[in-house]
Homo-oligomer: A and B are copies of this chain.
Amino acid sequence: MESDRNRILTESIKRLLRRKAISHLRKIVNKTHAADLSGVFYNLSTVDQLKLFDLIEDIEQKGVLFSELDEDIFLDLVEGIELDEMVKILEYMPNDDVTDLISRLPEETADAVLDKMKNEDSDEVEGLLRYGDDTAGGIMVPDFIALRDDTTAGEAIESLQKEHLGVEMPFYLYAVDEHNRLVGVSSLRQLVVVPPETPLKEFMATDVFSVQTDMDQEEVAKLVARYDILAVPVVDENNELVGIVTVDDVIDIFRQEATEDILKMAGVGEEFVETQTVLKSTRIRLPWLFASCAGGIIAFFIIGRFEESLSRLTYLAAFIPVIMGMGGNIGTQSSTIVVRGLATGRLNVRDIWTVVSKEIAVGLILGFVYAFLIGLVAQIQYSQAALAAAVGLAVICSMTIAALVGSLVPMLFARFNVDPAVATGPFVTTAIDIISVFFYFKIATVFLGI
């Protein structure tokens, strides 16, 4: 339904652009939420995007649109926007989003923008740029409400009415001591529930979670999800409160990490490529296929070594696809379970042997089941027990080894802090192909005495 609405919007806008119906366009553009407009932008040329962009009247909406666009489209778009306007838009945006956008710009443009921004904002943004992109420091917002722990509820409400109007999402009120160190937290709602003269320290919760600025964003997201909180405070090495990570960013992190993992497992890089041009998409996908090509060529040479046997028993070739296919598919199952299990915290990177031995057991059982089935087909077709046995044994070997490789490789990668999703997909499948083909021919030549 959402996509239907999006589709209708896109088509109306395209039609109006063709007709150059500017006043009509202006009306539509300005009553559409920027988040919806970004969906339309994916389907327009850069020139048309700029036309629409110029029609947006509310400068804040322009900022929201910036945040919603994919990196590629954003970069194409900003090339057509004047530096002054760019700076004006950025100054209206929350600083964590600004930081994110600026870190995507070419260095020169980024410096020029930072120079032009109001000092106060650009200091904050430069502060945020110091932290790694994917860390708590990089995604936190410096807009939060922190008050000394001896402030009363009444004073706190008063300060909310006067000072903290710019805070984006005021869910919690953090209490700090005289050194600005985080000591407690209270919800806005507690503030109105207690008598106004009660000091914060008497009703605040003191077991407040916080994270360090260098914590990986995925870990931060997991904490927020685990404890169902709306924001987590970020502290520096002195336990001083420097920012908060809010739940809306956590949602984005999870979606982004899931997309990255899925794309990496399929060997298509980590950025979504479908909204890019054919050539760009081709360039990103090309190197990943190289693993499978190299693997295929190795398998080619392995089979070449057995050409002598093959020429005597041609039908051996007919079993190559089923043996490769069974190994490949069970290997994909194993590695997917491991990669997703690690990402969601259901599997622990230290439990390598528990996980791998379980996978081997599953591989063995499934190997026997399908060995029987495929062996039976061989027996019916060629009435030759040695052949059926060889094919069956090859299936068992291929599936068991595939389950082993498919689970072990991502576990090992994770153990050495390499992203396990990269290990999966093309590499594991290719390794399994080679091993399967080799074992099959080895077993067949021994069993059939050729």
Contacts and interface: CB of A to CB of B under 8 A. Distances in A.
Given A160-B193, A340-B272, A348-B7, A366 B286 contact: yes
A251 B230 contact: no
A203 interface: no
Nearest to A350: B7
Contacts of A323: 296
A224 B192 CA distance: 27
Nearest to A257: B258
- Per DSSP, are chain A's interface residues mostly helix, strand or loop, or mixed? helix
Contacts of A314: 307, 310-311, 314, 317
A222 interface: yes
Interface string A369-398: 110011001000100000000000000000
A1 to B, nearest CB: 6
Given A227-B33, A274-B347, A258 B254 contact: yes
B320 A426 contact: no
B278 A362 contact: yes
A127 interface: no
A318 B39 CA distance: 47
A425 B254 CA distance: 23
A259 B3 CA distance: 22
A22 interface: no
A289 B426 contact: no
A6 interface: yes
Nearest to A38: B226
Contacts of A358: 274, 278, 281
A223 interface: yes
B350 A321 contact: no
The interface centre, meaning the residue of A316, A317, A365, A429 with most chain B CB atoms within 10 A of its CB, is A317
A160 B188 contact: no
Contacts of A147: none
Contacts of A278: 358, 361-362, 365
Interface string A293-329: 1011101110110010011001111111111111011
A247 interface: yes
A160 B2 contact: no
A374 B285 contact: no
6 contacts: A160-B193, A224-B251, A278-B365, A320-B321, A325-B429, A328-B429
